Amino acid sequence: MTRVAFIGLGRMGHGMAGRYLAAGFTVTLWNRSKAKAEDLIARGAQWATSPEHAAIDADAVVTMVADDEASRAVWLGPNGAAKTAKAGAIAIECSTVSYDHAREMGRELKARGLIYIDCPVTGLPDAAAAGKLTLLAGADSADLERARPFLEPIGTTIRHFGAVGSGTVYKLINNLMGAIQIAGLAEGLAIAEQAGLDMNLVLESIQAGVAASPQVQRHSKRMVARDFSGATFTAALRHKDAAYAVKLAESLLA
């Protein structure tokens, strides 16, 4: 049976790992905290003691971790997946990392005989659990086709931007625009509130206006209601992604 190693069971990774179980793959999991894997283990997943252990005999290794540092650790660290991943295995990096890191991982893992797919995703945790993410791929076309059976369980749309790193370029652009939208929305609502406007009318106007992206529509309702529960993305991760995007932009001016 086809085996997938899945590394990183945060808000997004947990649902994504569940999709591989639902699709009938043999799934081996690793996460810093085993508690986040317990329900998946109950569904038939196997637990690994390290990324190195998880990658043994895997046909594909999928990672969904926080940043460059975490990605490097789970792939190339002392107990990294690259130590045991078999030649020809597909290495799918779904984490949002920096452009330089994505390209470096592509070189490092290719040198170890792996097929590297730069594949950050867009979508909320409920989309991850339903297998309805959008996958932003950077890879050789032939490599992407080989990886497709491992991508289809987690996403309904695969957008191929070009070579390794190009998927990450678009993901950073996407998240930078999102951060700017949310910051602008918060500033605008604060001004409206301080000016004494009817906030329900402000919300109605935002929802019907030209700036009403899906993200603005979703967050404007929560901000006006002062509902900050159930956050799906931390401020720390949003700041990290924006910093990676700024670093990319600055590198293009060099």
Read out DSSP for 125-145?
HHHHHHT-EEEEEES-HHHHH
Active site residues: 171
Residue carrying structure tokens 């990774």: 13
Residue carrying structure tokens 């290495």: 91
CA pair distance 231, 140, nearest whole angstrom:
35
Q: Which pair of structure tokens corresponds to residue 221?
A: 């309702």
Q: Which pair of structure tokens corresponds to residue 93?
A: 């990096």
Nearest one of 101, 134, 102, 131 to 118, comparing CA atoms: 102
Read out DSSP for 7-18?
E--SHHHHHHHH
Q: Which pair of structure tokens corresponds to residue 52?
A: 């190195």
Three-class secondary structure of residue 178 per DSSP: helix
Close Cβ partners of 36 (under 8 Å, ≥ 6 residues apart) = 9, 10, 14
Nearest one of 94, 93, 76 to 85, comparing CA atoms: 76
The residue type at 33: S
Strands of the chain, DSSP E: 3-7, 26-30, 46-47, 60-63, 90-93, 115-118, 121-122, 133-138, 155-162
